[in-house]
Amino acid sequence: MTLAQETIRRKRDGQALDAAQIRAFVDGVTRGEVSDAQIAAFAMATCWRGMSTTEAVALTMAMRDSGRVLDWRGEDLHGPVVDKHSTGGIGDTVSLMLGPLLAACGCHVPMISGRGLGHTGGTLDKLESIPGYRVDVPLDTFRRVVREAGVAIVGAGPDLAPADRRIYAVRDLTATVESVALITASILSKKLAAGLQALALDVKVGSGAFMRDMPSALALARSLVETGCGAGLPTEALITDMNEPLAPVAGNALEVRMALRYLRGDERPARLDRVVRAFGASLLRQAGLARDDDEAQARLAQALDSGQAAERWARMVSGLGGPKDLLDHADRHLPAAPVVRPVPVPPSQVGMAVSSIDTRALGLAVVELGGGRRQAADRIDPAVGLASLLPLGAALDGSRPLAIVHAATQAAADAAVQAVQSAYAVSTTPVPAPPLIAGHIVREQGETSA
């Protein structure tokens, strides 16, 4: 057996690790034989030296195999098993609509999601604003809801890629979260453990993303696609803009309300709608349920307009413990903040236009309201957040506020108003927004324009 310190030394010195060395190290992490100090040293060496695709595949597979790997072949599913993952953003409610939409198109979606990280919102936190909804369920419940509803959005149980949980905890404390190879293995190990047949990845870029510039986003997207495909999972990635919130809302219950309005057809904001349908088309093509984008888009439109996607959502929510009538009576069940305050446009800015948005600052404003965590043990207030956020290029004529704050107290609302005003920059002439979908990454083809 290769000693952990020898594996660390090889990576520190820039030498390639073989699959056996990587697996032995990960096995030691899982069994508790590798210390936190050694994990930290390995993570820093990897962050500094990087990994080849071969090494990243080996690390991903070893982390996948550190726990249970789901097998859906015995479930008599009548469609492909697929999923989507986002690297995190503000107002990114895509998963809440995409899962039931894909289920209505004939897919099965066992979506393993996470909680908020830093300034970004977490899918599990959003769903937990629904009374009774359980994100931690026994495996047999998870399987049943995927089988019956076609989609279940839950958290990773303790048996799913447990090595990743331990490695990530150390990375979070050692300034190695940004390593492309370690991000890749962390994301894909859990997706591979879910037993998928196709995966689409949303790599965010911009002021509200972890990857703030295009070269960094491209590097991560290419690593994810090459590693996913190298591990036997058909994988594509879209690079999407996060220089402004994806939806005009940010906050847990507010985003669930937006998802419900989208599924019912009451409101489908253009940016959000385009990204939902783009990922739906990617997965329908990969799964063999559509020959091309035109056929995929037609299937998605039919599933939305017929109400089938909304019906799948209702089945999922009730199957995981939530109210059966949430779709029709959201206000009866979802929490509402006691203080609702518009964010006025400063008088000096009337007549100008929004030229840029510090999207990360908006995410942090939601955290400060209580809608996110400063520490892992913090409790979240699901009712708070921001709504009616003005987009890039919006004319500031004084008729609309920059946003509407939903807060627990007047003092919290006052602070959020100031934070939102500071996050918006203006100019005398409109500034065009960057492309919403900036790249499409497929294996061996690199970037193609969207």
- Per residue in 339-364, pLDDT (tens digit) is 999 999 999 999 999 999 999 999 99
Give me the catalytic one of 7, 46, 60, 86.
86
4 backbone dihedrals φ, ψ, rounded to 5°: -55, -40
Tell me how many degrees the CA angle 115-120-123 measures, rounded to the nearest 5: 35
pLDDT value of residue 374: 72
186 is catalytic: yes
CATH topology of domain 4-50: 1.20.970
pLDDT value of residue 1: 63
Give me the catalytic one of 115, 119, 191, 315.
191
| CATH 3.40.1030.10 placement within the chain | 73-330+437-448
204 is catalytic: no
* Maximum CA extent, the chain: 70
Give me the catalytic one of 143, 165, 171, 222.
171
CATH topology of domain 73-330+437-448: Pyrimidine Nucleoside Phosphorylase; Chain A, domain 2 (3.40.1030)
190 is catalytic: yes
216 is catalytic: no
Residue 85: name the closest of 230, 165, 244, 193 by CA.
193
The overall pTM is greater than 0.85? yes
109 Cβ partners below 8 Å, 6+ apart? 81, 82, 83, 99, 102, 103, 146, 150, 151, 152, 153
66 is catalytic: no
Question: Which residue type occupies 68?
Answer: R
Mean pLDDT computed over 399-403: 96
pLDDT of residue 447 exceeding 50: no
Mean pLDDT computed over 42-58: 95
Mean pLDDT computed over 181-205: 94
pLDDT value of residue 117: 67
Q: How large a percentage of the chain has pLDDT more than 70?
A: 97
pLDDT of residue 390 exceeding 90: yes
d(C-alpha 429, C-alpha 322), whole Å: 47
Give me the catalytic one of 123, 282, 318, 359.
123
pLDDT value of residue 407: 98
| CATH 3.90.1170.30 placement within the chain | 335-427
pLDDT value of residue 121: 74
Mean pLDDT computed over 424-440: 91
pLDDT value of residue 197: 95
Give me the catalytic one of 23, 49, 64, 84.
84
Give me the catalytic one of 30, 46, 179, 186.
186
Out of 3.30.930.10, 3.30.365.10, 3.90.1170.30, 3.40.50.970, select the CATH number for domain 335-427: 3.90.1170.30
pLDDT value of residue 32: 94
* Predicted confidence (pLDDT) per residue in 260-296, tens digit: 999 999 999 999 999 999 999 999 999 999 999 999 9
pLDDT of residue 446 exceeding 60: no
pLDDT of residue 209 exceeding 80: yes
State the DSSP string of 316-368.
HHHHTT--TTTTT-HHHHS---SEEEEEPPPGGGTT-EEEEE-HHHHHHHHII
Q: Are strands 353-357 and 198-205 parallel, antiparallel or unpaired?
A: unpaired
pLDDT of residue 83 exceeding 90: yes
Tell me the pLDDT band of 177, cut-offs 50, 70 and 90: confident
d(C-alpha 5, C-alpha 424), whole Å: 49
Which has the minimum average pLDDT: 24-28, 195-199, 387-391, 446-450? 446-450
pLDDT value of residue 396: 95
How high does pLDDT run on average in the chain? 93
Q: Are 304 and 102 in contact (CB under 8 A)?
A: no
pLDDT value of residue 2: 78
d(C-alpha 267, C-alpha 5), whole Å: 56
pLDDT of residue 398 exceeding 90: no
Q: Hey, how many other C-beta atoms are within 10 angstroms of the C-beta on 385?
A: 30
pLDDT value of residue 195: 93
Tell me the pLDDT band of 376, cut-offs 50, 70 and 90: low
Give me the catalytic one of 65, 83, 92, 381.
83
Tell me the pLDDT band of 74, cut-offs 50, 70 and 90: confident
Mean pLDDT computed over 239-253: 96
Query: Tokens at residue 74, please?
Result: 């015995």
CA distances from 136 to 131, 141, 147, 239, 432 (A): 14, 10, 17, 30, 43
pLDDT of residue 436 exceeding 80: yes
| CATH 1.20.970.10 placement within the chain | 4-50
Tell me the pLDDT band of 158, cut-offs 50, 70 and 90: confident
Mean pLDDT computed over 384-406: 96
Residue 70: name the closest of 154, 232, 191, 168 by CA.
191
Give me the catalytic one of 23, 49, 85, 406.
85
Give me the catalytic one of 49, 115, 119, 190.
190
pLDDT value of residue 114: 80
